[in-house]
Amino acid sequence: NAGVTQTPKFRVLKTGQSMTLLCAQDMNHEYMYWYRQDPGMGLRLIHYSVGEGTTAKGEVPDGYNVSRLKKQNFLLGLESAAPSQTSVYFCASSSWSPQETQYFGPGTRLLVL
C-alpha cells in the first residue's frame, strides 16, 4: 500500500520555466490538497479538490494551476516559475474532509533560480 506518492522528489528550474508536479493516492480518497511549506510559516494551502473533476483555490493560489481528471491523481502546475515559488510542496489526501486524517506525501523540493 503506497499511500500518497509525489513525483519528482527534487527539481531545479530557471525563472520562467514551467513544470507539473504529480500526486497519486491509492486510498480511494475524495479530498486532495496541495500545500507549500516555507521556513517559519508552517504549511499553506495552495489548491484543493473535493472530488474527481473539481478544484478550488486555497490560501495562496496565485501562480499555480491544478487538475483532477482522475480521482487518484492531483496535478499541480507552474506555468512560469518565479524565485518566490522556491519551496517544499506537499500533497495530501483525506477520505471526505480535512477534519479527517490527512495523509501526506513525502514532498517535492523545488528550487527556482
Partner 1 sequence: GDSVTQMEGPVTLSEEAFLTINCTYTATGYPSLFWYVQYPGEGLQLLLKATKADDKGSNKGFEATYRKETTSFHLEKGSVQVSDSAVYFCALVYTGGFKTIFGAGTRLFVKA
Q: Which residues contact 25 (CB under 8 A, 6 or more apart)?
A: 3, 4, 5, 32, 72, 74, 91, 93, 103
Minimum Å gap between C-beta 65 and partner 1 is 18
| C-alpha gyration radius of the chain | 13
Minimum Å gap between C-beta 39 and partner 1 is 9
Distance, in Å, from the CA atom of 5 to the CA atom of 23, rounded to the nearest integer, reads 6
Minimum Å gap between C-beta 84 and partner 1 is 19
Minimum Å gap between C-beta 63 and partner 1 is 19
For partner 1, the closer CB: 1 or 40 = 40
For partner 1, the closer CB: 40 or 113 = 40
Distance, in Å, from the CA atom of 23 to the CA atom of 9, rounded to the nearest integer, reads 11
For partner 1, the closer CB: 17 or 86 = 86
For partner 1, the closer CB: 58 or 63 = 58
Binding interface with partner 1 (CB under 8 A): 4, 33, 40-45, 48, 50, 56, 58-59, 90, 92, 97-99, 101-102, 104-107
Determine the Cα angle at 49 with ends 48 and 53, to 5°: 140
